Structure 1
Amino acid sequence: MHPEMIKARLRMAGYTLADVARMTNVDASAVRLALRKPSLSGEKAIATVMQKPLHELFPERWTKDGQRIRPRYRHLYEEAA
């Protein structure tokens, strides 16, 4: 999901990224970073507050079975076009 879409959905639910950090006891910088680059704690915090699985929010970083996709091995998880 596009980072701006994640931010918009959080705002529509009445939350900010700072709220997500406070609610989940995660550093605010990790939550902000998760929208730009991989950040395990930030991604999990956003997914927890949005009540969405990680693979829906960050499909380029997570598989449907909850496995982390490492950038070096991304080609192994991409579907053929």
Structure 2
Amino acid sequence: MSGFVFFLERKGMHPELIYAEIKMRGKSLTELAVDYGLDPTTVMKALKKPSLAGEKAISDFLNIPLHKLWPQRWTVDGRRIRPRWAHLYIKEEAA
């Protein structure tokens, strides 16, 4: 992994850091979308909101697992976490 990248266990990678990492690897979001046969807004949307194809393209390009980029959206075994059912996937730690 190039550049200064860090992860927060529960929050994942900040969208601006994901964007910066893509730029440091020589691509724009539009170029990335074109390379993966997607509309550019699909990839841009993935930085802020769930977007299956956009998230998978970013993850594949950066070679970072989905659950590391967006732990609130993906489980370690690659299953999508639906917001309505997140309580079934995520165990909250007792305070």
TM-score, normalised via structure 2 length: 0.79
Task: Decide which structure has greater helix share.
Answer: 1
Alpha-carbon deviation of 1:58? 1.2
Amino acid aligned to 1:50: L
Bigger Rg, structure 1 or 2: 2
Higher relative contact order, structure no. (Cα contacts within 8 Å, ≥ 6 residues apart):
2
Q: Percent identity?
A: 51
5+ long unaligned stretches in structure 2:
1-12
**Off by >6 Å, runs of 4+ in structure 1:** none
* Local SS of the residue matching 1:46: helix
2:58 to 46, 63, 67: 46
Q: Matched residue of 1:74: which SS?
A: helix
> What CA RMSD, in Å, does the superposition of the two structures yield over aligned residues?
1.0
Instruction: Flag structure 1 segments of 5+ consecutive residues without an equivalent.
Output: none
